[in-house]
Amino acid sequence: MADTNSAISYFPDIDTIKYEGIDSENQLAYRYYDKDQMVLGKRMEDHLRMAVCYWHTFCSDGMDIFGSGTFNRPWHSANNDRAAADAKMAAAFEFFTKLDLPYYCFHDVDVTEASDTPDELSNNLKYAADNLARHQEASGKKLLWGTANLFSHPRYAAGGLTNPDPQVAACAIRQIRDCLEVTHKLGGSNYVLWGGREGYDTLLNTDLKREQDNFGRFLSMVVDHKKKIGFEGKILIEPKPHEPMYHQYDFDTATIYGFLRRYDLLGEVHVNIEPNHATLSGHSFAHELATAVSLDMMGSIDINMGNYQNGWDTDQFNLDIRDITSALIEILPSGGLDTGGFNFDAKVRRQSNDEADLFYGHIGGVDALARALLAAADIIERGKIDAMKKERYAGWESGLGQAMISDDASLASIADTVASDGINGSHSSGKQEYLENLINQSIK
Ligand code: XLS
Ligand code: NI
Ligand code: NI
């Protein structure tokens, strides 16, 4: 059994990160994130519900496809055994505590030692879950979501739930069952499915209809199981258009809406949106959030950003305050994130091999979110964007607009109005530049 009160510190030179305000010169301090500050009637911490992810920060050794690891973390060891998993967990909870953020997220394989068989993974996950529960208890940290990794093991090369081989799909289902139950036991707020290999590399070997039908059927079973065990969190799908597969079925929020509708799962499954995945699918972060809100699908956010010059998932800490502000004004008016939160699905660069770099990365990401939250609140309180939108659509609230959307209206009745009333229509300004300026004015 792992000792959760271990005296070893993995970050001995770093104290708990505190709010010091914008004039601070301390690079290990927050300038904007003051967790108790009230914003739009809620504490900052409760608005943002920030989480640290296990995989990029504690599992990665900096390996990329051209070279091996560069990080040499003190909690890593050559063999991925139980002692290594225990050490990694101790480092992770020390880090969550020192950052003073409330949540974390994990994949089953992030928290367990290497497992050769599905059976071993189940047992190792049970052991890890007991340790996570003890760490949560000791630190007060909470689980934002758990997920099963159905993309790293070679058996999942052709997918998990959409695999052509039923035996592989059964292994995926077992992993999901186990991880969903562990997430429930740990009081998780959500359970995520990211279909990294649910898709195809070539249509020449792919039965698209069968794979999607299986995906829909098995996802319904996940929802049934969630209800059976009494898990009250949300089930979330994380859209991404491609990478690692050439095409992924969960392409974007709108595609997932069509899928859920087809398999009668609307209202049962929501989305976990990631800015870098949004841009890979040709959308902005704000577009994906606005779409999710309009379709009642909003779940949670994996906060990060891509590099504007290349076309892959670089998972950088999102420092683009304007981009985050534009996104936040899409979700705050409808009450914000509910069971969701902001999970830092972001990694430090391969050359950033000091443990302090992990802090710098997160501190930048936390402060960008806090600053954008303040800006978004200011925009909402000033009310000018909302007023402009209301005015723009005011015609639909009375007279002709109401008549056109009433049950008696038909194509012909509407068309005839134009001739009889001498309607000509007019073009009024969309005020785009005026609106864009308002965003910048609120960023302080
Ligand atoms: C990869 C995804 C992944 C999910 C969790 O691109 O973002 O990290 O969030 O499996
Ligand atoms: Ni993600
Ligand atoms: Ni990603």
259-277 tens-digit pLDDT? 999 999 999 999 999 999 9
46-61 core/surface letters (b: 16 or more CB in 10 A; e: else): ebbbbbbbbbbbbbbe
Cβ density class 175-194: b for 16+ within 10 Å, e for less? bbbbbbbbbbbbebbbbbbb
The number of angstroms, rounded, from the C-alpha of 335 to the middle of its chain's C-alpha atoms is 17
Ligand 1 centroid – CA 433 distance (Å): 35
Q: pLDDT band at 423, cuts 50/70/90?
A: confident
Q: What is the pLDDT of residue 379?
A: 98
Instruction: Name, in order, each residue with C-beta under 8 angstroms of 238's C-beta and a sequence gap of 6 or more.
Output: 192, 193, 194, 195, 250, 271, 272, 273, 274, 277, 302
User: Does 250 sit in the ligand 1 pocket, CB within 6 Å?
Assistant: no
Residue 7: the pLDDT is 74
Q: What is the pLDDT of residue 4?
A: 57
Report how far ligand 3's centroid is from the alpha carbon of 373 (Å).
23
0.85 surpassed by pTM: yes
Instruction: Point out the ligand 1 atom lying closest to the alpha carbon of residue 55.
Output: 8
Give the phi and the psi of residue 304 in degrees, each rounded to 5: -170, -175
| pLDDT score at 6 | 60
Residue of 55, 145, 192, 238 with the most ligand 1 atoms within 8 Å of its CB, for mutation: 238
CA–CA gap between residue 377 and residue 41 (Å, rounded): 10
Task: State pLDDT tens for residues 356-368.
Answer: 999 999 999 999 9
* Average pLDDT along the chain: 96
Q: Could you confirm whether 135 is annotated as catalytic?
A: no
Average pLDDT over residues 111-129: 97
For ligand 1, say whether the CB of 183 is within 6 Å of any of its atoms: no
Average pLDDT of the segment spanning 28-38: 98
pLDDT at 78: 87
The b-or-e profile of 318-351 (16+ CB within 10 A means b, else e) is bebbebbbbbbbbbbeeebbbbbbbbbbbbbebe
Any ligand 1 atom below 6 A from CB of 302: yes
What's the pLDDT band for 99 if we cut at 50, 70, 90?
very high
Percent of the chain with pLDDT over 70: 99
Question: In 281-428, which residue ranges form alpha helices assigned H by DSSP?
Answer: 285-294, 321-331, 355-382, 384-392, 399-404, 411-421
pLDDT at 1 over 60: no
pLDDT of amino acid 421: 77
Q: Could you report how far apart the first and last alpha carbons of the chain are, in Å?
A: 49
In terms of DSSP H, where are the helices of 100-207? 108-111, 118-139, 166-185
If pLDDT is split at 50, 70 and 90, which confidence band does 5 have?
A: low
Q: Is 178 in the pocket of ligand 1 (CB under 6 A)?
A: no
| pLDDT bucket at 106, cuts 50 / 70 / 90 | very high
CA of 241 to the centre of ligand 2 (A): 12
The pLDDT score that the predictor gives to residue 182 is 98
Ligand 1 atom nearest residue 240's Cα: 6
Q: Is 442 exposed, middle or buried (0-12, 13-18, 19+ CB in 10 A)?
A: buried
Q: Which of 47, 56, 86, 107 is catalytic?
A: 107
Whole-number Å distance between alpha carbons of 367 and 426: 45
Contact call for residues 89 and 140 (beta carbons, < 8 A)? no
Ligand 1 pocket member 238 (CB < 6 A): yes
Q: Is the CB of 198 under 6 A from ligand 1?
A: no
Residues 6+ apart with CB under 8 A from 93: 4, 135, 138, 139, 141
For residue 273, report the distance from its CA to the centre of ligand 3, in Å.
9
**What's residue 2's pLDDT?**
53
Task: For 325-336, write each residue's pLDDT tens digit.
Answer: 999 999 999 999
Average pLDDT over residues 184-199: 97
When pLDDT is cut at 50, 70 and 90, the band that residue 3 belongs to is low
Measuring CA to CA, how many Å separate 53 from each of 101, 238, 265, 300? 11, 15, 28, 14
**What phi and psi, each to the nearest 5 degrees, are found at residue 10?**
-90, -15
Q: Exposed (0-12), middle (13-18) or buried (19+): which is 430, by Cβ within 10 Å?
A: exposed
Ligand nearest to the CA of 196: 1
Question: What's the rounded mean pLDDT across residues 207-234?
Answer: 98
46 is catalytic: no
pLDDT band at residue 73, thresholds of 50, 70 and 90? very high
pLDDT the model gives residue 90: 98
Q: Which of 108, 110, 178, 313 is catalytic?
A: 110
pLDDT of residue 420: 79
Query: What does the pLDDT look like over 339-398, one tens digit per residue?
Result: 999 999 999 999 999 999 999 999 999 999 999 999 999 999 999 999 999 999 999 999
pLDDT of residue 308: 87
Per-residue pLDDT tens for 297-312? 999 999 999 998 988 8
